[in-house]
């Protein structure tokens, strides 16, 4: 049996499990792992500027391509605690990432050694498994178990903590005979699918709610097949956006308190039956359970048994991987259609499509004011970026308005931190997406506060030649919190504006504070400032030319009016529209023109 250091065995296991790149920051307690990575050479490494940034890069890497598992690495103590936010974000959205931390020697764990913290205990509530490996011989199997757990059932993150003496100890391990464990995924039975389909068939106005579990299962094609077989409109959740193209006649819009369209909420309220697949009934999607469920029946399909009934009790629940359920749904629906057992849904589908194209349900985007309104920025993005763009965004009015006005046409082309929403997530996540897919057209979207949180990670994009476009909408405000403070009649501690004495007159309106152009250029990237709608498309062309020549990120900073309230409300039937609604069909993006 070959003998090697335990940490060398860990590297070989990761390679066998398909890892080809890791994100992290070296340090004293994890240097044995870095030595093994360098010696073996099969796993590349991206050096982050902040360890939390490394965890979000790992998230972006996983979210971008089916089957990926991002790996983030840090030393002992604060490196692990810095990555807790990434683990929380991944856990909340069912994203598998592997976090590896160094640790003090076993004999020093109870002696308050330098940077010795019980990171496994800290991480327990935001991971599927968090462990400090105390026996060197268990290292290979700990990594094997980590990948098995991340891929089984509801996906999620794992943390492995490695004392330095455990890493350096010699063990016996044969990598040539190593095989990954087969993951466990529950699957629906035919009887369950037939019952759910019969309930849907009995309804008059059914909808399918498509959640992020469909994206995780790489089952978007099956969702579209099912919708077309049944003729039933689909409402994707924010995490499921892109599972059906925005311009598909059966895409009925999104529902929710914030990240939704008026026509999506209206169609949900008009429905009498909902088949939810791979979703968790998040409160930003539902609002109150009473309003959301009144007058309609529900079937809920989810991979996690304890998710069924967690928010409200469905009329029928099925524990199943979304892909396994959809394959069976398609098979049964095809049989029933051939036998003439399915109802004709053309009238209901046409009603939902009619809302989608009616000015009565559209928000206005064509504002000509300067400084620009955010609605006009998204109109410019829709018209200039095309249908193959992949958006990356996390939280704030920028993300909420983006979800209301942008359009997504493919799965994994809306990379979004759905539940945790940590500020600063967008830059490192976009870099992770770029590492996962070197050819994808990536456009990240941030407000100024999100952008400033982890702006240093742009230097990673410059160093490692990871180009992407970052649209920065700058109103010098914590816009979402400012809007929420209206309920308290305050505007307090949310202003980012100040007179920057280093900013030349005319560069930007006085009082906008941070000179993002200088900061971005100081980090080795390119920045372009936009004031007017007609400047956006030329800025985009300039950004693409720069990336082609220099292969670094490019920031397009759009100066917004200081205060814009974005539509949102307390219930899906009580959304406040602060701005004008559309007045003509011309306000509808061409991508949403009525299909032949």
Q: Where in the sequence numbering do the catalytic residues fall?
A: 25, 51, 423, 478, 481
Beta strands in 12-168 (DSSP E): 21-24, 44-47, 70-74, 97-103, 129-132, 158-163
CA distance 437 to 432: 9
Greatest Cα pair distance, the chain, in angstroms, is 75
| Structural tokens at position 399 | 């993300």
| Structural tokens at position 591 | 């991508």
Q: DSSP readout, 287-337? A: SSHHHHHTT-EEEEEESSGGGTTSSS--SEEEE--HHHHHHHHHHHHHHHH
Sorted by sequence, the CB contacts under 8 Å of residue 463 that are 6+ apart come out as: 47, 524
CA distance 50 to 71: 15
CA distance 364 to 449: 26
Q: Is 172 exposed, middle or buried (0-12, 13-18, 19+ CB in 10 A)?
A: exposed
Sheet with strand 21-24: strands edge to edge: 44-47, 21-24, 70-74, 97-103, 158-163, 129-132
Beta-bridge partners for 344: none
CA distance 142 to 595: 53
CA distance 125 to 494: 31
CA distance 547 to 525: 10
For residue 113, how far is the Cα from the chain centroid? 37
C-beta separation of 232 from 299 below 8 A: no
| Strand pairing category for 234-236 and 206-210 | parallel
For residue 98, how far is the Cα from the chain centroid? 17
Tokens 């524990």 label which residue? 319
H/E stretch holding 132: strand 129-132
CA distance 416 to 95: 11
Q: Backbone phi, then psi, for 275, in 5-degree steps?
A: -105, 105
C-beta separation of 57 from 72 below 8 A: yes
Which one-letter DSSP state was computed for residue 477? B
- If you count DSSP H runs as helices and E runs as strands, how many of each does the chain have, helices first? 24, 21
Sheet with strand 441-447: strands edge to edge: 414-416, 389-393, 441-447, 469-474, 554-559, 526-530
């Amino acid at each position: 049996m070959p003998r090697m250091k335990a940490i060398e065995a860990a590297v070989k296991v990761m390679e066998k499990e398909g890892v080809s790149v890791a994100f992290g920051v070296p340090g004293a307690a994890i240097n044995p792992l870095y030595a093994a990575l360098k010696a073996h050479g099969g796993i590349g490494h991206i050096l982050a500027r902040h360890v939390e940034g490394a965890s979000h890069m790992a998230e972006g890497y996983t979210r971008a391509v089916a089957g990926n598992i991002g790996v983030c690495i840090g030393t002992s103590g604060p490196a692990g605690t810095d990555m807790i936010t990434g683990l929380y974000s991944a856990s909340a959205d069912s994203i598998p990432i592997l976090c590896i931390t160094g640790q003090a020697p076993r004999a020093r764990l109870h002696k308050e050694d330098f940077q010795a913290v019980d990171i496994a205990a800290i991480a327990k509530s935001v991971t599927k498994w968090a462990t400090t490996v105390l026996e060197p011989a268990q290292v290979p199997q700990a990594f094997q178990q980590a990948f098995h757990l991340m891929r089984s059932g509801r996906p999620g993150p794992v943390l492995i903590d490695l004392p330095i003496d455990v890493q350096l100890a010699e063990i016996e391990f044969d990598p040539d005979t190593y095989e990954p464990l087969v993951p466990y995924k529950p699957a629906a039975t035919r009887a369950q699918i037939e019952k759910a389909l019969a309930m849907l068939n009995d309804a008059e106005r059914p909808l399918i709610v498509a959640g992020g579990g469909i994206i995780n299962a790489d089952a978007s094609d099956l969702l579209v097949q099912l919708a077309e077989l049944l003729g039933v409109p689909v409402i994707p959740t924010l995490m499921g956006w892109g599972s059906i193209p925005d311009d598909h006649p059966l895409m009925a819009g999104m529902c929710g308190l914030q990240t939704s369209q008026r026509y999506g909420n209206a169609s949900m309220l008009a429905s009498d039956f909902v088949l939810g697949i791979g979703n968790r009934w998040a409160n930003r999607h539902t609002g109150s359970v009473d309003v959301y469920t009144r007058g309609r029946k529900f079937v809920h399909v989810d991979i996690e048994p304890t998710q069924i009934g967690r928010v409200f009790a469905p009329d029928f629940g099925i524990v199943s991987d979304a892909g396994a359920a959809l394959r069976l749904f398609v098979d049964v629906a095809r049989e029933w259609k051939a036998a003439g057992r399915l109802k004709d849904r053309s009238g209901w589908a046409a009603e939902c499509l009619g809302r989608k194209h009616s000015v009565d349900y559209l928000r206005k985007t064509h504002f000509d004011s300067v400084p620009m309104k955010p609605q006009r920025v998204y109109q410019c993005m829709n018209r200039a970026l095309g249908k193959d763009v992949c958006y990356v965004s996390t939280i704030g009015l920028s993300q909420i308005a983006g979800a209301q006005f942008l359009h997504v046409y493919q799965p994994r082309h809306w990379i979004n931190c759905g539940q945790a929403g940590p500020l600063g997530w967008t830059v490192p996540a976009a870099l992770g997406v770029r590492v996962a897919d070197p050819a994808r057209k990536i456009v990240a979207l941030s407000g100024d506060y999100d952008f400033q949180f982890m702006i240093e990670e742009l230097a990673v994009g410059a160093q490692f030649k990871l180009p992407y476009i970052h649209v920065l909408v700058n109103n010098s405000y914590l816009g979402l919190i400012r809007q929420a403070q209206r309920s308290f009649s305050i505007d307090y501690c949310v202003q980012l504006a100040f007179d920057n004495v280093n900013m030349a007159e005319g560069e930007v309106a006085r009082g906008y504070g941070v000179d993002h152009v200088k900061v971005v250029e100081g980090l080795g990237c390119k920045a372009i400032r936009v004031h007017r709608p007609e400047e956006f498309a030329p800025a985009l062309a300039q950004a693409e030319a720069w990336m082609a020549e220099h292969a670094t990120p490019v920031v397009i900073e759009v100066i917004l009016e200081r205060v814009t309230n974005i539509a949102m409300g307390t219930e899906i039937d009580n959304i406040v529209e602060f701005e004008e609604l559309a007045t003509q069909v011309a306000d509808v993006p061409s991508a949403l023109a009525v299909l032949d």
